Copies of this chain bind each other. A is one copy, B any other.
């Protein structure tokens, strides 16, 4: 399904989105809510497309810790089997002589070597065990060097820490209507400076009687497309006026045109002294007509500070 209606001819076309126009080659939305692109790559081996560092950086915290712990036990198991292969007699100082007991003691010795604790009660006397232990100690140290890099990489990774309203609204605006959504920085003491925003809309159209749907992209004019700093929330407003590609659109039109809003926000992060980007998107079924947002900040009780009410980010009421 695609929209047959003609789009407002005074809209500002954007041919430089980096997306293609041939609708039949594309599947689903372009940009996911979390800002990633909805696409896969194929044709080269997985390990060439895969970046360990990037993956470890973006894992949720508990998964990251799990990977580290699992790796630690797995590599110690590997070394344990190597020592057992070499022969238990190359290690001295064990106190058990059952097989299971020796396995466990060898594993403990391995962890003591890998972490460089090296209590020394159990220690290698044979040549092969000594060489393996020296390699294990080095690999342990290097593993922790890598862990240090990963921890620091996770710490210092610039993130925007922006929360977006779940929906975009069509609300009254200066006597006409406007397309609105809002967002706010949700971390304490985390401010973006010189923030600018760009909103592009993608429409699937059947133009000039053609039966091959094509994507067209338009930049949406915004009431305000930059702010000096972002201590509070920001309600982004696209006035639906004569120059808007959405002029006269109903919900059904939006659905037919498979409307998707691409949002790109850029700002300078005071904490990390770095520029950060955040993408998100709204598709037609995330756009609600005839609602408006409620205010989300107030003066504190003592009148000395301002309070941003983040739980109201998604609250909107019907327009009477």
Residues of A within 8 A of B (CB): 14-20, 24-28, 30, 36-44, 48-51, 53-54, 57-58, 68-69, 72, 76, 92, 95, 104-105, 108, 111-113, 115-121, 123-125, 127, 130-131, 133-134, 137-138, 140-142, 144-153, 155-158, 186-191, 193, 195, 198, 200, 224, 226-232, 234, 264, 268, 270-277, 295, 297-300, 302-313
Contacts and interface: CB of A to CB of B under 8 A. Distances in A.
A304 B27 CA distance: 4
B123 A141 contact: no
Contact of A224 (B16, B200, B230): B16
Task: Give the 9 A-B CB pairs with smallest separation, nearest first.
Answer: A43-B311, A111-B134, A149-B152, A117-B118, A18-B227, A115-B137, A43-B310, A120-B120, A119-B120
Contacts of A121: 92, 120, 123, 125
Contact of A137 (B112, B148, B299): B112
A118 B112 contact: yes
A307 B303 CA distance: 45
Contact of A40 (B187, B191, B305): B305
Given A141-B115, A190-B54, A275-B268, A303 B27 contact: yes
A302 B27 contact: yes
A163 to B, nearest CB: 8
Interface SS majority for chain A = mixed
Contacts of A141: 115-116, 144, 147
A86 B75 CA distance: 26
Contacts of A268: 275, 277
A218 to B, nearest CB: 13
Given A50-B188, A118-B118, A144-B145, A38 B306 contact: yes
Nearest to A185: B41
A309 to B, nearest CB: 5
Contacts of A312: 43
A159 to B, nearest CB: 9
Contact of A28 (B25, B50, B306): B306
Contacts of A30: 231, 306
